[in-house]
Amino acid sequence: MTQWTRRGFMLAGSATTLAACSNAIGLNKTRAQIDADVDRARAELFRTVPGARQLAERSAGMLIIPEVTKAGLMFGGAYGEGALMIGPAKVDYFSFTAASFGLQVGVQRYSHALFFLTQEMLADFRYSDGWQLGVDAQYTTPEDAGALGVTTTTINQPVIALVFGQKGLIIGATLEGAKYSRLIR
């Protein structure tokens, strides 16, 4: 019988969580499937988040990840696929991956949008080899989506992240180590 080290236990737990998360969301969607999901999520975003349409009109580009699945039990993982839009055109496809550690339990699905308010940030996102954004989002109940909105304090940021359409329940989770990577489809 072998001894489990704390590091080995953490790695095994993380791998198990991420594997379970990826199996539940259906990887390798086609461009047409991603496009349809992005169109649906964009319509929901504009319908449910005050100021989102105006923010999109001001943005140099907008990334929509229509369905992120997040699961956690001490170790957490999240994954989703979406498209970068410049105006009405979908120009690139990206995946969103996040890992977290901490006091957390539950499963949740949500939609995620990034608004790039400057051409420089959009170019940095499009042409980097994997892009990271520090996100700290606390989820308590699905009804909290109604509290999201665009205010004058957030409008001055070069990149604005909005989470909407939450389903499920995850308690005490923080997103850390979020990474966006280009998908080749």
Burial class (CB in 10 A: 0-12, 13-18, 19+), 106: middle
DSSP conformational letter for 51: T
CA distance 163 to 81: 14
Determine, yes or no, domain membership for 47. yes
Low-confidence ranges of the chain (pLDDT < 70): 1-27, 132-157, 170-177, 185
Residue 69: the pLDDT is 92
Determine, yes or no, domain membership for 99. yes
Q: What is the pLDDT of residues 149-172, one digit of tens each?
A: 444 444 556 888 888 888 877 666
* CA-closest candidate to residue 113, choices 50, 61, 176, 76: 61
Determine, yes or no, domain membership for 1. no
Give the count of domains, the chain: 1
CA distance 20 to 135: 22
Range of the domain at 93: 6-182
